[in-house]
């Protein structure tokens, strides 16, 4: 009995010791340094140092934040309809969401990447992929609007996308799911050897940024998970992680996790480019949408492209090699020098680093370890530069600070680990709250990262914020990485699921941001640039209202002669030429969103009145001291009535 009491006592003492220790640690390790608030505080009226473009995941959009404050400035609609901005609702932008499957109002946006010149961010465009119905979008940073979307044929689960080469020669889009190419009706269990993985190289016009599919490399039926371009010495190559080299078509969590090693596919795109420039490749029938928005007509057009150039790796010997990489690698990241290619085996406890120099050497000396469908497999030990041993559990993504350090996220152990390139030693680790996916250092995917902050994007938040029912916000966390140790400075909530982000010094972007659209450049076919031209026209049962808006009235604001059964088009031009004076408009019962029209812009919506009456419309954006007076009436007469078409202002 005494013995038991002693044991209890001992246990109690031990427990209190642990407790005390725990408390003591919390003081020092609570991660927050005392002046964290000061370091993320951007005083009223002052600007953040960086823009962060954070993907919305299942929201389909791209949000714009400031760093270090974590303030949200704008959600740019990309792949999903947005009633606030009439994106995909008004007549002008509906074509932007057209695909070979018809109008698709949603997608899953994952990986933004900023255009580059000579390996450095130039701040002209952000590219981002739509994962579900494969598409690549381009956002023009002079207007912060999506101005081009191209659908990717022969692709499914467009995930190893949208990463740019160092002069923005190409935006690359790799398929995650392999599919029959071309698509056809066939048994699913005949996957092996029949399904293919398309890696798509989209050229970007250096002048106007126009996108075009240059070629598709038709690879074996693996899952192409993520990718990054070579840079510096490795410029001209592109690297893709693969999993499911087992080519399983069911219960992949087990069946695609059998091989000890999958691959990083190294693609010499310069070689393939040369091949296709000399007439190589096969033109294959296809059907995919190419949607372009024009800032002068303020309209989008959608064109269905009917052909795509495909290249079989076997046709271009020496263009593709496979680098064995342990355990279903996820992240595929290339350091600023272009020498190290990092494959994070998500089921491994290690991070594998390949050397570009060693890879070239192995290729030259033909140190092959078999092949997969004719593609040479290099031997693991010949290409491996090193391994970061046991840094954490579930490594995913790596970014770089330009000072010789790499930062890798660990999903399972929920942390960011800082380690040294070359020595592979772990320098520091900081917890994430919780289950971090991607991380982002502004300029991290370039030759010149701005190594001041890292943003970790978490999949789970649980108790980190005030609860909002079963669905709670996802979150980003900002760490200062300017010192030897990382310091957690700030949590901030995100829109949708933040898969990845791209950051850039604000100075590169902000001077180019436009304030208004010049009215004199407005080439919209239904634009009215002077009050004298405001009018209403009838064409059969279509009524076209050519309307203007300026503080604080519509012209015309009294319209009569519309009948039940008519299709009424409001074509509204904002005549303002002053910064930050948008106007909005909507009318009772419109089966669509409002319009939110920027100065100098024209937008249109359709209204199909169903009952006779006099129906008001009004300005939906508080524009001026007389915003409440900015209203009008439209009279709707029965279908058979003879009410004359007329319109007026101020009579």
Partner 1 sequence: MKKGKIIMFLAALLPMLLFVFPLWKITLEAPQYPTPLGMYIYINDFADANPHDIKNINLMNHYVGMKYIPDAIPEFKIFPIGIAITTLIGLVIGIWARYRWYLYWFIMMVLVSTVGLIDFYRWEYEYGHDLDPKAIMKFTNPDGSVMGFQPPFFGTKHILNFTAHSYPQLGAYCLAGGIALGLVAWWVARREKRNA
For every residue of 330-343, DSSP letters joined together read EEEEE-TTS-EEEE
> 549 with 619: CB under 8 angstroms?
yes
Question: How far is it, in rounded angstroms, from Cα 263 to Cα 220?
Answer: 12
Question: How far is it, in rounded angstroms, from Cα 474 to Cα 493?
Answer: 6
**How far apart are CB 520 and partner 1 at their closest, in Å?**
11
Question: How far is it, in rounded angstroms, from Cα 116 to Cα 1?
Answer: 76
User: Which tokens go with 16?
Assistant: 């209190």
322 binds partner 1 (CB under 8 A): no
**How far apart are CB 508 and partner 1 at their closest, in Å?**
21
Of the ranges 373-381, 394-402, 488-496, 571-579, which one interacts with partner 1 (CB under 8 A)?
571-579
> 451 with 401: CB under 8 angstroms?
yes
The candidate with the shortest Cα–Cα distance to 441, out of 475, 482, 411, is 482
**How far apart are CB 295 and partner 1 at their closest, in Å?**
17
> 442 with 421: CB under 8 angstroms?
no
Strands (E), 221-360: 223-229, 237-243, 261-268, 282-294, 299-311, 320-326, 329-334, 340-345, 351-355
Among residues 188, 466, 625, 640, the one that binds partner 1 under rule CB under 8 A: 625
14 binds partner 1 (CB under 8 A): no
Q: What would the x/- binding string for partner 1 be over residues 459 to 498, using CB under 8 A? A: ----------------------------------------
Among residues 6, 626, 639, 648, the one that binds partner 1 under rule CB under 8 A: 626
Residues 292 to 321: which contact partner 1 by CB under 8 A? none
**How far apart are CB 50 and partner 1 at their closest, in Å?**
22
The candidate with the shortest Cα–Cα distance to 508, out of 172, 110, 50, 76, is 50
**How far apart are CB 579 and partner 1 at their closest, in Å?**
8
- Residue closer to partner 1 by CB (options 433, 517) is 517
- Residue closer to partner 1 by CB (options 507, 629) is 629
**How far apart are CB 46 and partner 1 at their closest, in Å?**
13
- Residue closer to partner 1 by CB (options 372, 516) is 516
**How far apart are CB 627 and partner 1 at their closest, in Å?**
12
- Residue closer to partner 1 by CB (options 277, 628) is 628
Question: How far is it, in rounded angstroms, from Cα 499 to Cα 57?
Answer: 6
**How far apart are CB 510 and partner 1 at their closest, in Å?**
14
> 573 with 582: CB under 8 angstroms?
no
**How far apart are CB 646 and partner 1 at their closest, in Å?**
24
> 253 with 223: CB under 8 angstroms?
no
User: Which tokens go with 199?
Assistant: 């890696």
360 binds partner 1 (CB under 8 A): no
578 binds partner 1 (CB under 8 A): yes
User: Which tokens go with 171?
Assistant: 């935006």
551 binds partner 1 (CB under 8 A): yes
Of the ranges 228-236, 453-461, 574-582, 637-645, which one interacts with partner 1 (CB under 8 A)?
574-582
42 binds partner 1 (CB under 8 A): no
Of the ranges 177-185, 449-457, 522-530, 573-581, which one interacts with partner 1 (CB under 8 A)?
573-581
- Residue closer to partner 1 by CB (options 74, 551) is 551
User: Which pairing describes strands 583-587 and 613-618: parallel, antiparallel, or unpaired?
Assistant: antiparallel
Calculate ∠ Cα 228-159-509, nearest 5°.
60
Among residues 126, 149, 150, 550, the one that binds partner 1 under rule CB under 8 A: 550
> 215 with 300: CB under 8 angstroms?
no
516 binds partner 1 (CB under 8 A): yes
In residues, how long is the chain?
A: 651
Of the ranges 194-202, 313-321, 524-532, 570-578, which one interacts with partner 1 (CB under 8 A)?
570-578
User: SS3 for 522-556, per residue?
Assistant: CCCCCCCCCHHHCEEEEECCEEEEEEEEECCEEEC
**How far apart are CB 635 and partner 1 at their closest, in Å?**
26
- Residue closer to partner 1 by CB (options 12, 73) is 73
Longest dimension (CA), the chain: 107
**How far apart are CB 632 and partner 1 at their closest, in Å?**
17
- Residue closer to partner 1 by CB (options 251, 579) is 579
Give Rg (Cα) of the chain: 28
Question: How far is it, in rounded angstroms, from Cα 63 to Cα 15?
Answer: 47
538 binds partner 1 (CB under 8 A): no
Of the ranges 83-91, 109-117, 134-142, 577-585, which one interacts with partner 1 (CB under 8 A)?
577-585
| Site residue total, partner 1 (CB under 8 A) | 9
577 binds partner 1 (CB under 8 A): yes
**How far apart are CB 577 and partner 1 at their closest, in Å?**
4
Per the listing, tokens 């009410």 go with 643
Please list the residues that pair with 573 across neighbouring strands: 548, 602
For residue 48, CA distances in Å to 68, 69, 272, 510 come to 6, 7, 42, 11
**How far apart are CB 524 and partner 1 at their closest, in Å?**
19
Residues that bind partner 1 (CB under 8 A): 516, 550-551, 576-579, 625-626
């Amino acid at each position: 009995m005494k013995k038991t009491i002693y044991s209890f006592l001992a246990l109690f003492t031990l427990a209190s010791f642990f407790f005390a220790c725990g408390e003591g640690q919390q003081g020092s390790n609570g991660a927050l340094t005392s002046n964290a608030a000061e370091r993320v505080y951007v005083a009223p009226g002052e600007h953040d140092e960086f823009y962060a473009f954070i993907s919305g995941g299942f929201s389909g959009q791209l949000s714009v934040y400031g760093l270090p404050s974590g303030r949200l400035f704008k959600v740019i609609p990309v792949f999903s309809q947005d009633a606030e901005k009439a994106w995909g609702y008004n007549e002008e932008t509906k074509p932007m969401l057209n695909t070979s499957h018809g109008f698709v109002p949603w997608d899953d946006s994952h990986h933004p990447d900023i255009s580059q010149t000579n390996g450095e961010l130039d701040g002209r465009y952000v590219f981002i992929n739509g994962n579900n119905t494969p598409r690549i979008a381009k956002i023009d940073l002079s207007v912060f609007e999506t101005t081009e979307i191209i659908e990717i044929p022969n692709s499914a689960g467009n995930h190893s996308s949208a990463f740019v080469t160092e002069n923005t020669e190409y935006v690359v889009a790799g398929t995650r799911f392999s599919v029959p190419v071309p698509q056809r009706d066939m048994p699913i269990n005949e996957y092996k050897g029949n399904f293919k993985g398309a890696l798509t190289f989209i050229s970007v016009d250096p002048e106007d940024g126009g996108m075009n599919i240059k070629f598709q490399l038709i690879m074996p039926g693996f899952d192409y998970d993520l990718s990054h371009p070579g840079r510096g010495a490795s410029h001209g190559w592109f690297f893709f992680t693969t999993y499911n080299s087992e080519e399983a078509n069911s219960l992949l969590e087990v069946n695609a996790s059998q091989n000890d090693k999958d691959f990083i596919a190294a693609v010499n795109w310069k070689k393939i480019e040369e091949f296709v420039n000399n007439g190589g490749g096969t033109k294959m029938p296809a059907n995919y949408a190419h949607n372009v928005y024009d800032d002068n007509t303020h309209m989008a057009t959608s064109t269905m492209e009917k052909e795509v150039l495909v290249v079989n790796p076997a046709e271009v010997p020496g263009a593709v090699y496979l680098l064995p990489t342990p355990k279903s690698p996820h992240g595929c990241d290339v350091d600023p020098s272009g020498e190290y290619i990092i494959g994070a085996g998500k089921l491994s406890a290690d991070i594998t680093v390949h050397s570009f120099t060693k890879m070239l050497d192995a290729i030259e000396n033909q140190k092959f370890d078999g092949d997969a469908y004719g593609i040479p497999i290099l031997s693991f030990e010949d290409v491996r530069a090193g391994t970061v041993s046991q840094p954490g559990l579930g490594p995913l993504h790596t970014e770089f600070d330009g000072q010789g350090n790499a930062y890798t996220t660990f999903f399972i152990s929920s942390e960011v680990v800082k380690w040294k390139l070359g020595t592979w030693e772990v320098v520091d680790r900081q917890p994430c709250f919780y289950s971090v996916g991607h991380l982002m250092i502004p300029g991290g995917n370039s030759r010149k990262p701005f190594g001041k902050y890292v943003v970790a994007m978490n999949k789970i938040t649980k108790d980190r914020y005030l609860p909002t029912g079963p669905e709670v916000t996802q979150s980003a966390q900002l760490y200062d990485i300017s010192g030897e140790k990382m310091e957690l400075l700030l949590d901030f909530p995100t829109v949708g699921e933040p898969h990845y982000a791209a950051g850039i010094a604000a100075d590169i972007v902000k001077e180019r941001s436009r304030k208004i659209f010049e009215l004199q450049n407005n080439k919209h076919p239904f634009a009215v640039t002077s009050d004298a031209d405001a009018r209403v026209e009838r064409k059969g049962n279509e009524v076209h209202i050519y309307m203007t808006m300026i503080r604080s009235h519509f012209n015309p604001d009294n319209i009569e002669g519309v009948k039940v059964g008519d299709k009424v088009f409001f074509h509204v031009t904002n005549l303002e030429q002053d910064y930050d004076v948008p106007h909005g408009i909507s009318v009772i019962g419109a089966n669509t969103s409002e319009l939110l029209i920027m100065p100098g812009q024209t937008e249109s919506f359709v209204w199909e009145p169903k009952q006779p009456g006099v129906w008001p419309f009004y300005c939906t954006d508080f524009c001026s001291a007389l915003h409440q007076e900015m209203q009008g009436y439209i009279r709707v007469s029965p279908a058979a009535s003879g009410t004359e078409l007329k319109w007026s202002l101020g009579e």
